[in-house]
Structure 1
Amino acid sequence: MKLNRLSLAILLTALPTSSIFAAGLDRSGQSISAFLQNGNYAEAGITVIDPTVKGQDNFLKSNVSDMAEDYYFPSAAVKVQLTDKISLGLLYDQPFGADAQYSIENQIFEQNNEGTAVTVKTENITALIGYQPNENWNIYAGPAWQTVEANVRLRGKVYGGLNYNLDIDTQEAWGWVAGFAYSIPDIALKAALTYRSEIEHEATSKEKSLLTGLNTVTNPINATTPQSVNLDLQTGIAANTIAFANIRWVEWSQFAITPKHLQTASGGANLLDYSKDQWSANVGVGRKFNEKWAGSALVSYDTGAGNPVTTLGPTEGHWGVGLGGQYSPEENYFIHAGIRYMWLGDATAKTGTTPNVGSFSDNNAIAYGLKIGYRF
């Protein structure tokens, strides 16, 4: 059942949308699958998310219109096999983020003709060195460089009419990655376990609200992005057909952002926190149809990170299904496109010390992905 390069690429590109509308602030899934490819390899991709998140507030009992903004994130990777035993890799992604905007028509989230809004963006570059003592084992590790920036606007009755602004400028910090992989090429078997450390950011926050006379106050703030573990599996199950799975754990239960002025003004509340760790899984099959075409299908599940959740992201996990198609004009490069539909979990929204300010249900998201891969 030995598979050629096109078949082995199916799992790598099984869906560019393989980890998208996940628990907490999780987005990219932090895959290192590009680094585990044979030989020299490079890829670039983009994923676009179109979520719909609506609900009802528990103050006025009015409908809350769609507050989830569309967003996209790119990814790229290059892996070089220096010798039979040593490989190097460089991976770029945007692992965590948030984009929300409440309409000014949602009265409890509006103040002075402005709606509550949040933007969180991270960027991550991971450098890996791998050691392959034989054709079956690969042991790898390396540093991870990460930046975080955030802008938050809290408006309306649900936040006590505080008219609160928070800005955190881009800050950089370092973490590390380590793992190992085992493979049997003849049957397309591959298993990889990868650990990523938490990364602690020591930043400066700029806050203002009605309690500061709308004057900006500057305070130190710590934000630690969570540690995680990824387990990736694949195996050949028939001629030109593989099964694959990804299982991911992220420690969101230890995550909190607590700006000093907001904590004082709200009686000790965090701006953002989660009560449970995230578990997610993607399981599917990929099949080569001929020398140029291949396809894949998957089912995904995400537990969420606890309920109630923040008003800045009021969903709890999801179920999803996806399809992908791959075209390879030549053996050494391919273009892959994928689409995923997700049923988002119902959630109760909270703010600070108020546990039930709204209910969000019957929501969904659609993700589209495009990836180009090249072997050199």
Structure 2
Amino acid sequence: MKKFTLAAAAACLAAGSAHAASIQRHGDRSQILFEEGERYFEFSVTNVSPSISGTGTGPFAGAQSGDITPSYQTYHFGYKQDINEKLTFAIVSTNPVGADVSYPARPYPFATSTAEINSLALTGYLKYQMNDKVSVYGGLRLQSLDGNVNLGVAPPAVYSLDVDKDYRLGYVLGGAYEVPEIALRLAVTYESKIEHEFKDNNGASFDVEIPQAVTLHARSGVAKDTIVFGSARWQEWSKFQVGAPDFLTNPLNPQNLPIASGTGDYWTYELGVGHRFSKSWSGALIVGYEPDNGKLTGNLEGRDGFTSYGAAITYTAEAFDVTMGVRYYDIGSATTTTIGSEFSNNDALATGIKVGFRF
């Protein structure tokens, strides 16, 4: 039952939180610590194809932005090993945040504007099994962040900024309660904020905070060969801001707006059901929801909340499993700052594959 429950939950990883709040791309991956087997290795690849466009209002009424978000990929790998009956070690690589925006060359105020944010995080975990039901875990995270932006602003002018990779440390803490007889597990994970430091074109320093987050994971058997699983994640995106001093004081930015910023704190929810059809095959259906906060969004975002629907199928053998998943995102409508464009009727499709090995 345990291997089946973990394979079903892997559906969340195969095409999971790749289009969640603000610039989030990967969520909490601490649950690899509970994978079956003395040694376990997994990797996953997700492709996301968004379609996000908006229409200008006021003096720019009717101007069409075109699709501003190219397709992108995220990658993940993790290794877990039992040290003894009490201690388990894991190391996980993720792309926790990211952005890729490109306005087409057409009659629109931000035409030809581009922005990119890249990240890579390496997290080492250690779990201590206090008894057969309670465990605690924690670890350190080394994270890199870099990006670039080229803004086309009306009237015609250009602002550009390119920052190199900045490496910073954060930490993770968590605990879990399990009842193995019914495949029940409740786990909560805290991820600390990580503050990166960059310099603008004039050499002035500014910080970019990737905010703290709390994730609650839950799963339980409900019938023979059937489980329900889900998660709730809170992240303090109101603390996120790219406020380069030379842009905040630029005369072409009279509102003193940052290059990018979070519009508020976000909750993201997932609920799924998994069923084992045979010894080798299982499947899962997943629904995700992120409520909008109704505030103005930046011109490098154009979205606010979502509802998602996903499905996955897993093939499980003695030493490995393969999960393939697909998820459709119905992206929430948004109104942008500066020119008040309306972004609506947008969506995204994510597909992914995850492979795990036990040895």
TM range (shorter): over 0.9
- Give me the whole-angstrom Cα distance separating, in 1, the residues matched to 2:6 and 2:24: 27
Q: Secondary structure at the match of 1:172?
A: strand
Distance 1:21 1:349, change over 3 A: same
Kept in 1: contact 2:119–2:145 (CA 8 A): yes
User: Does the residue aligned with 2:109 lie in a helix, a strand or coil?
Assistant: helix
Match runs of 1:7-46 below 5 Å: 7-39=5-37, 40-46=39-45
Q: Are the structure 2 counterparts of residues 308 and 347 from structure 1 closer, same or farther at C-alpha, using a change threshold of 3 Å?
A: same
1:60: which partner in 2?
60
Retained in 2: the 8 A contact 1:8–1:188? Answer: no
Contact 1:14 1:296 in 2 (8 A): no
Q: Name the structure 2 match of 1:165.
A: 160
Q: Which residue in the other structure is 1:287 paired with?
A: 275
Higher deviation after alignment, 58-67 or 164-173: 58-67
Aligned partner (choices 115, 118, 123) of residue 118 of structure 1: 115
Q: Within 5 Å, which residues of 2 pair with 1:60-139? A: 60-61=60-61, 62-110=63-111, 115-139=112-136
**1:305 Cα deviation after fit:** 5.6
Mapped to 2, the partners of 1:34 and 1:358 lie a distance apart of 42
Query: Is the 2:33–2:80 Cα contact (8 Å) retained in structure 1?
Result: yes
Q: 2: CA distance between counterparts of 1:183 and 1:241?
A: 17
| Paired AA for residue 139 in structure 1 | V
1:217-366 counterparts in 2 under 5 A?
A: 217-265=202-250, 266-267=253-254, 268-304=256-292, 307-328=295-316, 330-350=317-337, 354=338, 356-366=339-349
Cα deviation, residue 219, structure 1: 2.3
Structure 1 residue 182 corresponds to structure 2 residue 181: no
Secondary structure in 2 aligned to 1:64?
coil
The CA distance in 1 between the partners of 2:248 and 2:153, in whole Å, is 18
Following superposition, the deviation at residue 307 of structure 1 comes to 2.0
From the superposition, tell whether residues 199 and 172 of structure 1 become closer, same or farther in structure 2 (CA, over 3 Å): same
In the superposition, the TM-score normalised over structure 2's length comes to 0.95
- Residue 334 of structure 1, CA deviation: 0.7
TM-score (norm 1): 0.91
Q: Percent identity?
A: 29
* Secondary structure at 2:248 match in 1: helix
For this pair of structures, how many residues does the alignment match?
Answer: 353
Deviations 1:198-237 (A, max 9, x none): 00112233x3xxxxxxxxx332221110000010000001
DSSP-derived class of the 2:22 partner: coil
- Unaligned residue ranges in structure 2 (runs of 5+): none
**C-alpha distance in structure 2 between counterparts of 1:327 and 1:246, whole Å:** 23
- The answer as to whether partners of 1:100 and 1:312 remain within 8 angstroms in 2 is yes
Q: In the alignment, is the contact (CA less than 8 A) between 1:15 and 1:323 conserved in 2? A: no
In 1, are the aligned partners of 2:199 and 2:244 still within 8 Å (CA)? no
Q: Is the 8 A contact 2:76 2:95 kept in 1?
A: yes
Note the C-alpha offset of 1:373.
0.8
Q: CA deviation at 1:291?
A: 1.0
**Could you tell me which residue of structure 2 aligns to residue 212 of structure 1?**
none
Which piece of structure 1 moves more, 223-232 or 131-140?
131-140
- Helix, strand or coil at the partner of 2:204: strand
Deviation at 1:47, TM superposition (A): 0.7
Question: 3-state SS of the aligned residue for 1:68?
Answer: coil
SS in 1 for 2:341: strand
